[in-house]
Structure 1
Amino acid sequence: METIKQLFIKYKEIIMYLIMGGGTTVVNWVVYSLMVMFCHPGNNLTGPLHISASTIDIFVANVVSWVLAVTFAYITNKLFVFESYSWNPKFVLKELSLFLSARIATGLIEIFGVPFLVSHGFNQAIFGLEGSVCKITMSFLVVLLNYVFSKLVIFKKDKTEA
């Protein structure tokens, strides 16, 4: 039991990031799934782009699920993962702007990546949910990039704090 406790202490940040990331992923996937299942207008758009309503539904579902997941992620990463407890407005503004900038970058990768992969034939479904394989692939990439940005840029501890 002591060994498990020591391992948790040693790897607490990574373990907490994975737990909170799991929660963020749940928020992202639940919102995405609900929107894909319940928000189908069922019409195709006409015009030179020939975009299907299904592709638009996936795009909108990704945007909404991303916004809610990022809000959840900032709060949980700040408090439970990187233990950044300062609520000084100037500090929070800087931290939040860095967090949002990084998440916008990775969010754009996910938001445009999923429909891009779907429209290029990688439209495999899991449990009947269209685009699931694409969503999983992009989610994995985004989680990795988000940790790197959070650790090295956003919640970076000053050497004087260590």
Structure 2
Amino acid sequence: MLKELWDKYKSIVAYLFWGVVTTIVNLATFQILSSGIHWNYEVATVIAWFVSVLVAYFTNKVWVFGSHYTTVSDFIAEIFRFFFYRALTLVIDIVITFVGISVLGFKDPLGQFIVKVIDNVIVIVANYIFSKWLIFNNNKKIENK
């Protein structure tokens, strides 16, 4: 019974684990840049996004979805899809941080951090949906041929 549950949910468990790691990378990078060295929060958001997407791509590729492309062109197509869909969630990220910080006024470090935590939960769910059905799904179709 436990093995059946593990087999059924192992990609979700792995995604959640690596999602936490990626979120920590995102939040830490954002906090260091925005509160630590006082960069503009929009710039800090974009840099935190880029760093966390690099971490997410390689962890998702290897440990979550087990992508095993063998050609360079397939790898390039996969990483392009990954960054494309992550760019869509970057737009969500920027909108949420703008609304939370500039519109709603959560401008102090704790307020910014709370906004980023809420933001990351929404972004993680969107990223899982994109990864599961639009990015790494094509790899499974190729392997089954």
- TM-score calculated relative to the size of structure 1: 0.80
The total of aligned residue pairs comes to 143
Q: Give per-residue Cα distances to partners, 1:77-96, cap 9 Å, x unaligned.
A: 00000000224101011101
2:60–2:66 CA contact under 8 A, matched in 1: yes
TM-fit CA distance, 1:141: 1.1
Q: Which has the higher contact order (CA 8 A, sep 6+)?
A: 2
CA distance in 2 between partners of 1:117 and 1:37 (Å): 16
Report SS of the residue matched to 1:62.
helix
Q: Tell me which structure has the larger Cα radius of gyration.
A: 1
**Residue 121 of structure 1 aligns to which amino acid in structure 2?**
L
Unpaired segments ≥5 residues, structure 1:
41-55
1:39 aligns with 2:20: no
For 2:92, which of 97, 109, 118 is the aligned residue? Answer: 109
Q: Give per-residue Cα distances to partners, 1:30-73, cap 9 Å, x unaligned.
A: 11111122222xxxxxxxxxxxxxxx621111111100000000
Q: Which moved more, 1:116-125 or 1:138-147?
A: 116-125
* RMSD of Structure 2 on Structure 1 (CA): 2.0
CA distance in 1 between partners of 2:84 and 2:49 (Å): 14
Aligned CA distance change for structure 1 residues 87 and 68 (closer, same or farther; 3 Å): farther
